[in-house]
Structure 1
Amino acid sequence: MRTILVAGGGYAGFYTAWKLEKKLRRDEARVVVVDPRPYMTYQPFLPEVLAGSVEARHAAVSLRRHLRRATLISGTVVAVDHAHRTATVQPAEGPEFALGYDIIVVTAGAVTRKLAIPGVAEQAIGMKHVEEAVAIRDRLLTAFDRASTLEPGPLRRRLLTVTFVGGGFSGVEGFGELLSLATSLMRAYPELNPAELQFHLVEARDRILPEVSDGPGQWVVRSLEKRGARIHLNAQLISARDGHVVLSTGEEFDSDLIVWTVGNAANPMVRSHTDLPIDGRGMLIVRADLRVGTESEPVPDAWGAGDDAAIPDLAVSRPGAVTVPNAQHAVRQGKLLARNIVATLRGRKPKQYVHHSLGTVATLGLGRGIFQYRGIVIKGLPAWLMHRGYHVLAVPSWERKTRVLAVWLTAALFGRDIVSLASVQDPRRAFVTGDEPVEPPAQPPIRSQHVQSA
């Protein structure tokens, strides 16, 4: 039997393997999936995980629960030698080993783009995985508890200051949802003054949400500012050392929570450790039919999809356009990729990937959203309902859909849960210290000079 290696269990990899299981005959090929996590993250739900509107585990789809015929390896493909049909796998435990294959599907996904800014690596939290979303939420809830015991002053102001860096889709959605949660928390903390709550969104360009046109993007800025947020456009983060945020505009402030959502970078394995063709950005060169290579020089037995693949976008007329790295494309590419692999195994021609956008929809907090399809723009509650409706239909499996709907119904009746479980990040602390009260982590000193210029 042929071996089909799926390198990466994210959107594209999960859907490829899932559909291959359903379409392949049992004696036709075996599927091997390599991914360091035992689940696929449904990333559109991460902003709602931040806000407590979706349980963290409901935004994760178990690979073993759904890929019952595939062989799952907990590890990472760190190199591909396609000339010899061999991949190098670094397992979760133990030394690296070579894994042979007949057909490879590269869906390793992109990684968080990092910049060499002082303090970011030590202070910031990303927003690409479920664990990060949970940590952000718990960090905010813990900050409210700690701030409520303090007198008004610099430390309390620092604890109630949140900074998001990056005004793209995930950044704006996460920012809006966390702002919604923080605003609602004020009712449970009468000791705190709502004016002390500070939310900053920093974007290097002159606009946020590049996925929508200028008018809707400006409306989102105005909407967030009406809710008390500070939107810093044409501003770059210069330093975040010890939680002291310095912007290129000259503004400075202390922030207890810094969230990094600047964007994606090429996967290191694809960029530097494979003999498959890549472009100048370190992305895998993929044809419209999802085979690796160019129209004139396809690479036999190699396929690619998802965020680490530069796939021609046949739905737009602009020469050289490639599909944008989002869930809409990754899911559909994974499904088509499975059909194309089966077609080639059975002597048929693969089909080209063409997807016309269904529009852009974003959540901006509980009951708030925006939707745009060409010249049609819907704002507020209707757009928010469209966002929820679309994603509950899109999340894989009826089991996950039912669980998410149950949480939403419970929240509608009783409100969002505001319990912080930040202690799970250090579960042995109570065991080691016994019943003694635990001192909170030491905070860096508060700077005496803060510039709050516009």
Structure 2
Amino acid sequence: MTEAPRILIVGGGYVGLNTALRLQRKLRRGEARIAVLDIDSYMTYQPFLPEAAAGNIEPRHVVVSLRRALDRCAIVNGMVTGVDPVSRTVALRPQLGPARVMEYDILVYAPGSISRLLPIPGLAECGIGFKSLEEAIHLRNHVLGQLDLAESTSDPEIRDRALTFVFVGGGYAGVEALAELEDMARYACRYYRTIDRGDMHWVLVEATGRILPEVGPEMGRWTLQELRARGIDARLETLMKSAEGGHIVLSDGTELDSDTLVWTAGVKPNPLNQSSGLPLDERGRIRATAELVVEDHGGVFTAGDCAAVPDLTKPGEMCAPNAQNAVRQARTLADNVVATLRGRPLKAHRHAYVGSVAGLGFGKGVAQIYGRKLHGLPAWVMHRAYHLTRVPTFDKKIRVLTDWTLSFPFRREVVSLGALSRPREEFERAARSGAR
């Protein structure tokens, strides 16, 4: 009896999860064996990270369990360390135990991207990104903890440092993270006797002359005006030169001290690309055809942030590395995997840009959909409606909608749970006390 073909999916993010979900629906039982390889056992819906950080959404509702959603797939947790397209194998290193080598007949390669860091003194020691749920929740607890510190100290320098928050990068991640956290902190000020919203110093540093390029120049300018009207110090055409010891130096000569430095200045393809044995372009992305097949490697498919996928709606350009493209590419990719198994012709991926939406705090947003420009409350509603339809699984849609509904009649929770990042601290303190 011939064994069913083996499909390995490297990465459980947008592309990996959505590809696997579609394959589950399209393939007959026993037609193929599917395994998803990822260091985590869940997929994070990253557009909801700012709202999770602001406390509008329960953190568990931002992630989708791979094992629960993909009941017809094997989930293997570990770090993929290499791909050998010649022998058709993938090397995997679990958190514990010996490394594994897994064979495949069809490979879906979608490890995504990582934060793109620059060699700025102090950045690696002081900065934090905004790509994972862990980072988002840490920032929420950290910001509220800084308010606690500022309320409790009698040292004006410590207070000023605690109430200064610096975000580098004026794209989606930076603007939405800053806007949501500033909105949360401004709300929290009502519970602090000595802190007024004007005491906080929120700084946005952007190297180019505009923010939110995804929503177009006009809406980007409106967003900039909105942020500045809220007292946010948005600096364009400005670079961060150093951040050693939390002392931040900007290219315009400004110097300030802060214990909160959030780095959102772009992403780059996963370093696994370099050891994948697959063809790369000048930016380190996997070279793909319009059918989402890796160039010169039949049976290997790719999509998402790690891949250079031709944009057939804009000849000569590549698809932008965003969630909208990743989700739609996953559909075409899954259909082409099914076509490959059944000996049918593959279809090219073609997706015209629909538009972009961004949340800027409770009741505030900006959007450009099918050429129509919105801002304020209508854009905020559009932002929530769009992402509610895109978050995977019906269960998560209902849970997120419930969170949003409950946020209207009840007050927002503004409790710092900073100890979550140091769960053994209390136990270790008790141990030291008992040893004396």
- TM-score tier, shorter chain, comes to over 0.9
In structure 2, how many angstroms separate the alpha carbons of the residues matched to 1:371 and 1:302? 36
Of residues 282, 297, 310 in structure 2, which corresponds to 1:299?
Answer: 297
Of residues 164, 178, 181 in structure 2, which corresponds to 1:161?
Answer: 164
Q: Are 2:312 and 1:310 equivalent residues in the alignment?
A: no
Q: Are 2:93 and 1:97 equivalent residues in the alignment?
A: no
Amino acid across the alignment from 2:56:
S
In structure 1, how many angstroms separate the alpha carbons of the residues matched to 2:100 and 2:397? 38
Could you tell me which runs of 5 or more consecutive residues in structure 1 were left unpaired when the two chains were aligned: 438-454
User: Which residue does the alignment assign to 2:198?
Assistant: 195
In structure 1, how many angstroms separate the alpha carbons of the residues matched to 2:53 and 2:262? 11
Q: Are 2:204 and 1:216 equivalent residues in the alignment?
A: no
Partner-residue secondary structure (3-state), 1:148: helix
In structure 1, how many angstroms separate the alpha carbons of the residues matched to 2:407 and 2:179? 18
Partner-residue secondary structure (3-state), 2:277: coil
CA displacement at 1:327 relative to structure 2: 0.8
Of residues 287, 290, 295 in structure 2, which corresponds to 1:288?
Answer: 290
How does 1:324-403 map onto structure 2 within 5 Å? 324-373=320-369, 375-403=371-399
CA displacement at 1:19 relative to structure 2: 1.1
User: Which residue does the alignment assign to 1:232?
Assistant: 235
In structure 2, how many angstroms separate the alpha carbons of the residues matched to 1:375 and 1:433? 58
User: Which residue does the alignment assign to 1:448?
Assistant: none
User: Which residue does the alignment assign to 2:188?
Assistant: 185
User: Which residue does the alignment assign to 2:141?
Assistant: 138
User: Which residue does the alignment assign to 1:449?
Assistant: none
In structure 2, how many angstroms separate the alpha carbons of the residues matched to 1:423 and 1:357? 43
**Structure-2-length-normalised TM-score:** 0.96
User: Which residue does the alignment assign to 1:443?
Assistant: none
User: Which residue does the alignment assign to 2:260?
Assistant: 257
Structure 1 pair 375–152 and aligned structure 2 pair: CA distance change class (3 A): farther
Whether contact under 8 Å (2:121, 2:244) holds in the other structure is yes
Q: Are 2:420 and 1:418 equivalent residues in the alignment?
A: no
Whether contact under 8 Å (2:354, 2:370) holds in the other structure is no
CA displacement at 1:97 relative to structure 2: 2.1
Deviations 1:346-380 (A, max 9, x none): 12111111111221110111111011136421110
Aligned CA-pair RMSD: 1.5
Partner-residue secondary structure (3-state), 2:152: coil
Deviations 1:386-420 (A, max 9, x none): 10111111111111011111111221111221111
Deviations 1:52-110 (A, max 9, x none): 11111111010000111111110122111101101111112223221111111100101
In structure 2, how many angstroms separate the alpha carbons of the residues matched to 1:40 and 1:375? 31
In structure 1, how many angstroms separate the alpha carbons of the residues matched to 2:424 and 2:215? 46
User: Which residue does the alignment assign to 2:122?
Assistant: 119
In structure 1, how many angstroms separate the alpha carbons of the residues matched to 2:219 and 2:397? 30
Whether contact under 8 Å (2:215, 2:355) holds in the other structure is no
CA displacement at 1:328 relative to structure 2: 0.7
User: Which residue does the alignment assign to 1:452?
Assistant: none
User: Which residue does the alignment assign to 1:2?
Assistant: 5
Partner-residue secondary structure (3-state), 1:80: strand
CA displacement at 1:36 relative to structure 2: 0.3
Amino acid across the alignment from 2:96:
E
Q: Are 2:279 and 1:277 equivalent residues in the alignment?
A: yes
CA displacement at 1:17 relative to structure 2: 1.1
In structure 1, how many angstroms separate the alpha carbons of the residues matched to 2:386 and 2:197? 33
In structure 1, how many angstroms separate the alpha carbons of the residues matched to 2:373 and 2:298? 44
Structure 1 pair 24–374 and aligned structure 2 pair: CA distance change class (3 A): closer
In structure 2, how many angstroms separate the alpha carbons of the residues matched to 1:436 and 1:140? 29
In structure 1, how many angstroms separate the alpha carbons of the residues matched to 2:120 and 2:97? 34
In structure 1, how many angstroms separate the alpha carbons of the residues matched to 2:89 and 2:72? 22
User: Which residue does the alignment assign to 1:245?
Assistant: 248
In structure 2, how many angstroms separate the alpha carbons of the residues matched to 1:117 and 1:365? 30
Structure 1 pair 187–118 and aligned structure 2 pair: CA distance change class (3 A): same
Aligned identity (percent) is 45
Aligned length: 430
In structure 1, how many angstroms separate the alpha carbons of the residues matched to 2:52 and 2:321? 21
Instruction: Tell me which moved more, 103-112 or 403-412.
Output: 403-412
In structure 2, how many angstroms separate the alpha carbons of the residues matched to 1:386 and 1:277? 39
Partner-residue secondary structure (3-state), 2:345: coil
User: Which residue does the alignment assign to 2:429?
Assistant: 433
Partner-residue secondary structure (3-state), 2:18: helix
In structure 2, how many angstroms separate the alpha carbons of the residues matched to 1:405 and 1:13? 25
Could you tell me which runs of 5 or more consecutive residues in structure 2 were left unpaired when the two chains were aligned: none
CA displacement at 1:323 relative to structure 2: 0.6
